[in-house]
């Protein structure tokens, strides 16, 4: 937590330093070594109105970066021509979640949820992060609707915004519907959701929290489902093992107790709702498409996406029809705040 605020502060200070020094632009190189025209690029500073950076920042391919470095090494002048035309849109700072549902029957006040995030980074179109997750979840809903199954529990899909800035859309939704931690007074946390900040205090749950059996998420690219993370909820292992059996010949064979992080199931997990992320074939997610200019349509694997949709539809169906809701694990206790820690 303290690290998070410190890191934000450092980025602010660095951008202020660039502005004070009247730097024309900051040129960075991409992370990783895949090369071949792939450029990974994220943000250069705060997205908040009034805090946005004024110095243009660019990311170039490693081959171009090292060429500049070699020329500078030889004390040669380097001249670059830049054409940067960016705009911050401050008129509507809101982002919107998209929600839809198939109503249940005898247990219609109970929910099974599935979701993915709609937002992405600007260098590509976000086909694998997370267009892939979004379309498989929509397809799972379409399959269930087309089969006209009349589920016992209501099935609700959530397509979240603001995931890339810190799971903001799903945290906001969960805070409004299921439970929240108190706000934090640290200036770096002003107006930010605190659900995932255990230092903020204990979770207070709302009545609806007791009515959600499970939340399923897909956000690891275009590759096939190979299993599911149990998120340290051991009691669901035999249940998922049975649900997984029909999909063994499609390549889904692994249950792991492990926690996996980084995406929207964490918002549900934080308030004690069983939230799960599937294990996917990584293909080239980390090496090529994740937050890069190669995150485009051509990098999607249509057959793998069909496999994912079918498995998600199966798991959601099983959860919606089961006599009981899924077993839960306890909500994580609050952590002491930094100041209190020092006193100990």
Minimum distance, C-beta of residue 69 to Zn ion, in the bound complex (Å): 32
Binding interface with Zn ion (CB under 5 A)? 129-130, 219
How far apart are the C-alpha atoms of 288 and 292, rounded to whole Å? Answer: 7
Residues near 177 by Cβ (< 8 Å), separated by ≥ 6? Answer: 206, 208, 209
State which residue, 231 or 289, has the beta carbon closest to Zn ion: 289
d(CA 221, CA 281): 8
In whole angstroms, the minimum distance from the beta carbon of 169 to Zn ion comes to 12
Rounded to the nearest whole angstrom, what is the least distance from the CB of residue 129 to Zn ion in the complex? 4
Q: How far is the CB of 245 from Zn ion (least distance, A)?
A: 29
Q: Are 161 and 168 in contact (CB under 8 A)?
A: yes
Shortest distance, position 106 Cβ to Zn ion, whole Å: 36
Residue 219 or 318 with smaller CB distance to Zn ion: 219
When the beta carbons of 62 and 138 are compared against Zn ion, the nearer one is 138
What's the CA gap between 184 and 165, in Å, rounded? 18
Within 8 A by CB and 6+ apart from 305, the residues are 132, 135, 136, 139, 222
Going by C-beta distance under 8 Å and a sequence separation of 6 or more, which residues neighbour residue 245? none
- Residue with Cβ nearer Zn ion (115 or 274): 115
**Residue 127 or 271 having the CB closest to Zn ion:** 127
Angle of CA points 193, 49, 41, to nearest 5°: 80
CB of 146 to Zn ion, least distance (A): 27
Q: Report the 3 state secondary structure along 186-226.
A: CHHHCCCCCCCCHHHCCCEECHHHHHEEEEEECCCCCCCEE
Q: Closest CB to Zn ion among 199 and 295?
A: 295
Q: How far is the CB of 167 from Zn ion (least distance, A)?
A: 10
Count of Cβ atoms closer than 10 Å to residue 134 Cβ: 22
Please tell me the distance from the alpha carbon of residue 271 to that of residue 202, in angstroms, as a whole number.
10
Report in angstroms how near the CB of residue 186 gets to Zn ion at its nearest.
Answer: 26
Measured CA to CA, the distance from residue 137 to residue 117 in angstroms comes to: 10
Strand partners, 292: 40
- Residue nearer to Zn ion on the CB measure, 154 or 260: 260
Q: What is the CA radius of gyration of the chain?
A: 22
Report the residue number, 199 or 219, with the smaller CB distance to Zn ion. Answer: 219
Stretch (H or E) spanning 243: helix 237-244
């Amino acid at each position: 937590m303290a690290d998070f605020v410190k890191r934000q502060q450092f980025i602010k200070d660095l951008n202020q330093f660039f502005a004070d020094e009247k730097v024309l632009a900051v040129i960075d190189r991409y992370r990783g070594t895949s090369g071949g025209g792939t450029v990974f690029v994220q943000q250069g500073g705060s997205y908040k109105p009034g805090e946005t950076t004024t110095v243009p920042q660019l990311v170039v391919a490693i081959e171009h970066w090292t060429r500049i470095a070699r020329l500078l090494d030889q004390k040669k002048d380097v001249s670059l021509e830049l054409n940067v035309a960016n705009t911050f849109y401050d008129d509507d700072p809101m982002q919107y979640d998209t929600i839809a549902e198939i109503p249940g029957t005898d247990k219609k006040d109970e929910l099974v949820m599935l979701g993915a995030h709609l937002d992405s980074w600007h260098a590509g179109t976000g086909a694998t992060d997370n267009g892939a997750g979004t379309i498989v979840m929509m397809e799972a809903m379409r399959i269930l609707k087309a089969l006209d199954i009349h589920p016992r529990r209501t099935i609700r899909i959530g397509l979240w915004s603001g995931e890339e800035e810190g799971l903001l859309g799903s945290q906001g939704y969960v805070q409004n519907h299921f439970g929240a931690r108190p706000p934090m007074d640290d200036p770096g946390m002003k107006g930010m959701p605190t659900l995932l900040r255990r230092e903020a205090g204990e979770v207070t749950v709302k009545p609806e929290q007791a009515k959600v059996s499970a939340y399923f998420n897909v956000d690891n690219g275009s590759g096939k489902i190979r299993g599911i993370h149990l998120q340290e909820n051991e009691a669901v292992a035999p249940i998922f093992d049975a649900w997984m059996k029909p999909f063994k010949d499609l390549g889904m064979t692994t249950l792991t107790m492990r926690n996996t992080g980084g995406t929207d199931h964490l918002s549900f997990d934080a308030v004690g709702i069983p939230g799960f992320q599937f294990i996917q074939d990584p293909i080239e997610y980390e090496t090529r498409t994740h937050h890069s200019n190669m995150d485009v349509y051509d990098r999607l694997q249509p057959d793998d996406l069909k496999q994912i949709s079918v498995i998600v539809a199966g798991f959601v169906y099983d959860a919606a029809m089961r006599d009981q809701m899924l077993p839960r694990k306890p909500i994580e206790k609050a952590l002491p705040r930094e100041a209190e820690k020092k006193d100990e």
